[in-house]
Structure 1
Amino acid sequence: MDFGYADPHAEKVLQTFIRNGHLVRFPAKRGRRRILLEHIAASFEPGRRFPEKEIDVVLRAWCDGGETDYVTLRRYLVDEDLLSREHGHYWRTGGWVA
């Protein structure tokens, strides 16, 4: 599957860790994990605040059938400053914007 990135390294990372639109596992290396997390962060519209339940629905879909869980994915997104949170709401604060 082609994810549409000009960077062949990013394409390779995404092809390795995403199957049929689902995250199969997290990369061990931080650089690869960052590429993957930036791709997933693009699932959220910049400038919009999401209640935790909405974030969880999207992240559960990413984790469906893989070895990962949505809570860990959400934590990684926050830790990498791709999502911010306050009072049960999240918003996108990083990653690529088309």
Structure 2
Amino acid sequence: MMDMSNYRISEEEIKKILNVYFEGGRLKQIPKKEKKRMITLVYISKNFQKGKYYNEKEVNEVLKDIFDDFVMIRRYLIDYNLLNRNKEGTRYWVVDP
């Protein structure tokens, strides 16, 4: 898990990074640098409602519209503790910070 509080990031810097990596609401590529990747993943995670449970198909449907390799994005969201899932992988939810 990576904590955004480790970085000093201005709103302007966030907008600049998102403008580089997103076009028309779609992620062009996954950033290699950790800080930029975290910013893009936090942005993507905002497509999910807090307090709502999703099944894997629903998560995939949201992520397909954002990036072709939606499985990788789903994995990153879990690895970065932005989404959580049950042991069976049948329920997903937004992690409360």
State the shift of 1:94 in Å.
4.7
Q: How many residues align?
A: 86
Q: Sequence identity, in percent?
A: 35
TM-score, scaled to structure 2:
0.84
Within 2, Cα distance between the matches of 1:94 and 1:12? 26
Partner of 1:11 in structure 2? Answer: 15
Q: CA RMSD in A?
A: 1.3
Corresponding residue SS for 1:81: coil
C-alpha change, 1:44 and 1:26, in structure 2 (3 Å) is same
Give the Å deviation of 1:63: 1.0
Are 1:85 and 1:91, in contact at CA under 8 Å, matched by a contact in 2? yes
| Structure 2 match to 1:72 | 72
Structure 1 runs (4+) deviating above 4 angstroms are none
2-side partners of 1:35 and 1:78: how far apart? Answer: 15
Matches of 1:47 and 1:94 in 2, distance apart? Answer: 9
Q: Give the corresponding residue for 1:3.
A: none
CA 31–72 in structure 1, closer or farther in 2 if over 3 Å, else same: same
Partner of 2:94: 92
For 1:51 and 1:28, the matched residues in 2 are separated by: 28
